[in-house]
Amino acid sequence: MGSCLASGQILSDAARQAMFTIHVPVQDDDGVIRTEGYGYGWFIGTVPGGRRVFYHPGDQSGFRSLNAWFPDDDVRLAVLSNERATRLDPIVHDLIQKAFPGSPEDS
Protein backbone atom coordinates (compact mmCIF):
# COMPACT_ATOMS: atom_id res chain seq x y z
CA MET A 1 0.00 0.00 0.00
CA GLY A 2 1.74 3.14 -1.13
CA SER A 3 1.37 6.34 0.82
CA CYS A 4 -0.32 7.95 -2.20
CA LEU A 5 -3.11 5.36 -2.08
CA ALA A 6 -3.48 5.58 1.70
CA SER A 7 -3.54 9.38 1.70
CA GLY A 8 -6.18 9.75 -0.98
CA GLN A 9 -3.91 11.12 -3.70
CA ILE A 10 -4.85 8.32 -6.10
CA LEU A 11 -8.43 7.29 -5.25
CA SER A 12 -11.38 9.21 -3.88
CA ASP A 13 -12.49 8.52 -0.31
CA ALA A 14 -15.52 6.64 -1.68
CA ALA A 15 -13.37 4.44 -3.92
CA ARG A 16 -10.93 3.69 -1.10
CA GLN A 17 -13.84 2.90 1.22
CA ALA A 18 -15.23 0.46 -1.35
CA MET A 19 -11.79 -1.14 -1.76
CA PHE A 20 -11.54 -1.85 1.96
CA THR A 21 -15.15 -2.94 2.54
CA ILE A 22 -15.99 -6.62 2.65
CA HIS A 23 -17.83 -7.62 -0.51
CA VAL A 24 -17.20 -11.36 -0.23
CA PRO A 25 -17.21 -12.97 3.23
CA VAL A 26 -14.19 -15.18 3.88
CA GLN A 27 -13.81 -16.97 7.19
CA ASP A 28 -10.21 -18.06 7.73
CA ASP A 29 -7.95 -17.99 10.77
CA ASP A 30 -4.42 -19.20 10.16
CA GLY A 31 -3.30 -18.19 13.64
CA VAL A 32 -1.61 -15.04 12.35
CA ILE A 33 -4.34 -13.24 10.42
CA ARG A 34 -8.05 -13.76 11.05
CA THR A 35 -9.59 -13.07 7.63
CA GLU A 36 -13.14 -11.74 7.58
CA GLY A 37 -13.61 -11.03 3.89
CA TYR A 38 -12.39 -9.71 0.58
CA GLY A 39 -12.83 -6.18 -0.71
CA TYR A 40 -11.69 -4.95 -4.11
CA GLY A 41 -8.22 -6.47 -4.39
CA TRP A 42 -7.54 -6.79 -0.64
CA PHE A 43 -8.35 -9.29 2.07
CA ILE A 44 -9.67 -7.69 5.25
CA GLY A 45 -8.99 -9.06 8.69
CA THR A 46 -7.39 -8.66 12.09
CA VAL A 47 -4.31 -9.95 13.86
CA PRO A 48 -3.99 -11.02 17.51
CA GLY A 49 -4.71 -7.98 19.62
CA GLY A 50 -7.48 -6.85 17.26
CA ARG A 51 -5.46 -4.66 14.88
CA ARG A 52 -7.12 -4.24 11.49
CA VAL A 53 -5.11 -5.38 8.49
CA PHE A 54 -5.65 -5.18 4.74
CA TYR A 55 -3.48 -7.67 2.90
CA HIS A 56 -2.90 -9.75 -0.17
CA PRO A 57 -0.77 -12.85 -0.57
CA GLY A 58 1.01 -12.89 -3.89
CA ASP A 59 1.31 -16.64 -4.12
CA GLN A 60 2.32 -17.83 -7.53
CA SER A 61 4.16 -20.89 -8.74
CA GLY A 62 7.74 -20.70 -7.47
CA PHE A 63 7.47 -17.97 -4.84
CA ARG A 64 5.53 -16.72 -1.82
CA SER A 65 4.77 -13.19 -0.71
CA LEU A 66 2.55 -11.09 1.50
CA ASN A 67 1.75 -7.38 1.28
CA ALA A 68 -0.03 -6.04 4.38
CA TRP A 69 -1.12 -2.63 5.66
CA PHE A 70 -2.20 -1.87 9.22
CA PRO A 71 -4.20 1.32 8.58
CA ASP A 72 -4.74 2.37 12.19
CA ASP A 73 -0.98 2.37 12.80
CA ASP A 74 0.09 3.26 9.24
CA VAL A 75 2.46 0.28 9.26
CA ARG A 76 3.23 -1.66 6.09
CA LEU A 77 4.66 -5.16 5.90
CA ALA A 78 6.06 -6.91 2.85
CA VAL A 79 7.47 -10.43 2.91
CA LEU A 80 9.00 -11.95 -0.21
CA SER A 81 10.50 -15.37 -0.84
CA ASN A 82 11.65 -16.92 -4.08
CA GLU A 83 11.19 -20.39 -2.59
CA ARG A 84 7.70 -21.91 -2.78
CA ALA A 85 8.34 -24.09 0.30
CA THR A 86 8.86 -21.08 2.59
CA ARG A 87 6.37 -20.97 5.44
CA LEU A 88 5.35 -17.34 5.73
CA ASP A 89 3.18 -17.70 8.86
CA PRO A 90 6.03 -17.80 11.40
CA ILE A 91 7.88 -14.99 9.60
CA VAL A 92 4.79 -12.78 9.48
CA HIS A 93 3.95 -13.56 13.12
CA ASP A 94 7.47 -12.59 14.26
CA LEU A 95 7.42 -9.36 12.23
CA ILE A 96 4.01 -8.38 13.64
CA GLN A 97 5.29 -9.00 17.18
CA LYS A 98 8.32 -6.79 16.45
CA ALA A 99 6.17 -4.05 14.92
CA PHE A 100 3.71 -4.09 17.83
CA PRO A 101 5.59 -5.18 20.96
CA GLY A 102 3.42 -5.95 23.92
CA SER A 103 0.40 -6.88 21.79
CA PRO A 104 -1.71 -9.66 23.28
CA GLU A 105 -1.43 -12.96 21.46
CA ASP A 106 -5.19 -13.46 21.37
CA SER A 107 -7.97 -11.00 20.58
**84 in any annotated domain:** yes
Whether residue 58 lies inside any domain: the answer is yes
Query: Exposure of 94 by Cβ count < 10 A (0-12 exposed, 13-18 middle, 19+ buried)?
Result: exposed
Q: Is residue 105 part of a domain?
A: no
* pLDDT, tens only, 53-103: 999 998 778 889 999 999 999 999 999 999 888 889 999 999 999 999 876
In the chain, the amino acid numbered 73 is D
Domain-embedded: residue 53: yes
Instruction: Report the C-alpha dihedral over residues 43, 45, 46, 52, rounded to 10 degrees.
Output: 80
The residue range of the domain holding 80 is: 3-99
In a domain, 71, yes or no: yes
Predicted structure pTM score: 0.85
Q: Are 34 and 26 in contact (CB under 8 A)?
A: no
Q: Is the pLDDT of residue 10 over 90?
A: no
Q: Please state the domain count of the chain.
A: 1
22 found inside a domain: yes
| pLDDT at residue 107, rounded to an integer | 42
Residue 107: inside a domain, yes or no? Answer: no
Residue 11: inside a domain: yes
